[in-house]
A = this chain, B = another copy of it.
Amino acid sequence: MRPPDIAEVARHSGVPASTLRYYEEKGVIESIGRRGARRIFGPGIYQQLALVALGQAGGFSLDEIAEMFAPDGRPRIERAKVEARARELERTIRRLQATRKALLHVAACPAPSHMECPSFTRMLKIAAAGRLKSERRSRGR
């Protein structure tokens, strides 16, 4: 079985060919050569795409991902940096948990003024942390 070309990788991974080209340009993946004009990829490509997906799931930009994992998948990581990100992620998770509760509260209680419910306002405060007066970090989509 010869090395997969871009179409093969796209079919297999679900990542569109255009995106694969874009990723290569960005340096988050790499092709191991060409067959004629067409890119062919090494067997590690699926791993690497999984790592990219991991990074994206964690809210990292493609640039950050390129920086964290060499395009061959080897981590070139500053431990501390990744750990910092993990901690940030934990804060995000807590925020989302508060958000979730707050949403459920809103859904459950049809009262026009949730604001009078102290537990709701507390959740709101946590959920909104980072917006009202403070840092503006990427996180999110």
Residues of chain A whose beta carbon lies under 8 Å from any beta carbon of chain B: 13-15, 47, 49-51, 53-54, 56-59, 73-75, 77, 79, 82-83, 85-86, 89-90, 92-93, 95-100, 102-104, 106-108, 110, 112, 114-115, 124-125, 127-128, 130-134, 138-141
Cβ contacts under 8 Å, A112 to chain B: 74-75
Contact A86 B100 (CB under 8 A): yes
- Prevailing SS type, chain A contact patch: helix
Contact B92 A131 (CB under 8 A): no
The CA-CA distance from A47 to B115 in the complex, in Å, is 8
Contact B107 A100 (CB under 8 A): no
Contact B82 A93 (CB under 8 A): no
Contact B107 A79 (CB under 8 A): yes
Cβ contacts under 8 Å, A128 to chain B: 50, 53-54, 57
Q: Contacts A112-B74, A131-B56; is A97 near B107 (CB within 8 Å)?
A: no
Cβ contacts under 8 Å, A96 to chain B: 57-58, 89, 92-93, 96
